[in-house]
Amino acid sequence: MTKKSIPDVLRIAVAQLNPTVGDIAGNLAKAREARADAARQGADLVLFTELFLAGYPPEDLVLKPAFLAACERAAEDFAKDTADNGPGVIIGVPLKRKSGVHNAIIVADGGKVIAERFKVDLPNYGEFDEKRVFQAGPDMPGPVNFRGVRLGIPICEDIWGELGVCETLAESGAEILLVPNGSPYYRAKMDVRHQVAIRQVIESGLPLLYANQLGGQDELVFDGASFAINADHSLAFQMSQFEETVAMTLWRRGDEGWACVEGPMSKIPEREEADYRACMLGLRDYVNKNGFKNVVLGLSGGIDSAICAALAVDALGEERLRAIMMPYRYTSSDSLKDAEDCARALGCRYDIVPIHEPVDGFSHALTQLFEGTKEGITEENLQSRARGTILMAVSNKFGSMVVTTGNKSEMSVGYATLYGDMNGGFNPIKDLYKMQVYALSRWRNSQVPPGAFGPSGIVIPENIIDKAPSAELRPNQTDQDSLPPYPVLDDILECLVENEMGVDEIVVRGHDRDTVHRIEHLLYIAEYKRRQAAPGVKITKKNFGRDRRYPITNRFRDRG
């Protein structure tokens, strides 16, 4: 190739899309549609995200030879599409080679695969477990020559770790770093990604394009928000968060190398909006990708079920939510009114199913067994379990998925009833502490998130936000009868769960030592309940499930 034929302009389309794990044909069709869209926009190259054809994370699916074979066939078919003189593609796919099964990308152009590259740095922390199913690339990746431009293509963790992949690519002649990612959301993750990218730009001296997956996959939500950092450390473009799109970027070669000179510049949502939209997207994709037509939840008149109802309507539409109030003798008139007002504001179906008969029936059936004992938590839990049984019956009869509504504060200390209010298929607020639930409820009453199907205005009645929270399982009960105030409880829990702080450190923050010991004890003994809980959206850096794996049988207590 002569010097004159080396391009000075490169049009790269970033495909920030929502694949489904295991839907190889559907993901290929989505990739083809995106490539056609990019071709209409004049793209030279389309960059897809990590393991796009398989969906990410595929977990143990990659141990199945049939799955790997289907993924590779799809990659080969997609490569053949590039014979039409349209844009080339970079797309993620698992590949089995002599060196093992790899988290890989192919580069295709002119109707064939022109390069393969393997992920070198396999993450094995938090929500990631890639060393279980993949082998690391046997060699450091070199640049790929695409139409005269030398592209470095590190894959996700290759820019997060300390192996020096980007520096190696720069030293071997790469001109631009294009990074396919499957980076899940947690609060303030965008700042972390920008910092990681800037560090690699500084160390390599190269501009970096970060393409991130979108969509919900079980507990994880991928928020998109793809971006690029130029070699001068400036933000070259920023794509939207929580929105599926194919965006065109223009790259130009100058005296100092390549720079992105055109691209979208979207605003990243603030904290409450981002958390709410993550919960909404996670619920929507869990329901839709698993084939549920609609959902049902118990609407108690409390804030947790109210925000879950709002999330369900925003994610799915009012016609796909059925809310059921299940009153007992301790249910207050305020709760009855608040639940009805909430359902009316959201426009969803609202039914009332009293639970007096089933609870009294259980109590009667157990009279002889319980003779001589005092009433207490067991009898309270019969109410919760009757409600759980009714919701599961509705689920079985009508095919609706039960949305469960326990927040992270309750799940932490075990204030949830197995086979009762823990019944359900998915929990959109599982990783939100109680005070965060309040903050998001106030935010939702003043805003309608983009892409939401729900109405504007107050959808969570103010009385629900203002009143003291209560399970209403006995007369005049409030949560604070047996727990410290939620601001205190949440701070202690964040110290214990998110930050793994010792008791002495927490006490220094101003907390009572006996209270901290008690909360730590409750946290540990509730592990068996959390193992049986429904999955829910990851919002914090350390959610229950993928990120925090404590033993059920555990006698350790921090006594200094």
Q: Establish whether 430 is a catalytic residue.
A: no
Q: Is 98 annotated as a binding residue?
A: no
- Find residue 323's DSSP bridge partners: 297, 350
Q: Is 189 annotated as a binding residue?
A: yes
- Rg of the chain over all Cα atoms, to the nearest angstrom: 26
Q: Is 300 annotated as a binding residue?
A: yes
CA pair distance 372, 338, nearest whole angstrom: 38
Q: Is 142 annotated as a binding residue?
A: no
**Strand bridging mode 9-16 / 45-47:** parallel
Q: Is 303 annotated as a binding residue?
A: yes
63: helix, coil or strand? helix
CA pair distance 390, 95, nearest whole angstrom: 47
Phi/psi for 215 (5° steps) reads 115, 165
CA pair distance 188, 541, nearest whole angstrom: 9
64: which 2 tokens?
């199945």
CA pair distance 34, 12, nearest whole angstrom: 12
Q: Is 30 annotated as a binding residue?
A: no
442: which 2 tokens?
């106030």
Q: Is 545 annotated as a binding residue?
A: no
CA pair distance 337, 335, nearest whole angstrom: 5
CB-based burial of residue 325 (10 Å sphere; 0-12 exposed, 13-18 middle, 19+ buried)?
Answer: buried
CA pair distance 501, 494, nearest whole angstrom: 9
Of 471, 459, 474, 431, nearest to 323 by C-alpha is: 459
Residues 459, 461, 466, 470: is their CA dihedral positive or negative? negative
Phi/psi for 107 (5° steps) reads -110, 125
Q: Is 304 annotated as a binding residue?
A: yes
Q: Is 552 annotated as a binding residue?
A: no
Instruction: Give the active site residue among 30, 72, 119, 434.
Output: 119
Instruction: Give the active site residue among 30, 127, 130, 156.
Output: 156
Instruction: Give the active site residue among 50, 72, 175, 272.
Output: 50
Residue 133 carries which DSSP code?
T
Q: Establish whether 171 is a catalytic residue.
A: no
CA angle 27, 32, 35 (to 5 degrees): 125
Q: Is 481 annotated as a binding residue?
A: no
Q: Establish whether 119 is a catalytic residue.
A: yes
Of 335, 337, 354, nearest to 345 by C-alpha is: 337
Q: Is 405 annotated as a binding residue?
A: yes
CA angle 331, 333, 337 (to 5 degrees): 110
Of 89, 85, 94, 81, nearest to 122 by C-alpha is: 94
Q: Is 263 annotated as a binding residue?
A: no
Q: Is 529 annotated as a binding residue?
A: yes
123: helix, coil or strand? coil
CA angle 528, 532, 533 (to 5 degrees): 115
Q: Is 302 annotated as a binding residue?
A: yes
Q: Is 162 annotated as a binding residue?
A: no
Q: Report the binding-site residues for deamido-NAD(+).
A: 381, 410, 529
Q: Report the binding-site residues for L-glutamine.
A: 125, 183, 189
Hey, which residues are catalytic here? 50, 119, 156
Q: Report the binding-site residues.
A: 125, 183, 189, 298-305, 381, 405, 410, 529
Q: Report the binding-site residues for ATP.
A: 298-305, 405
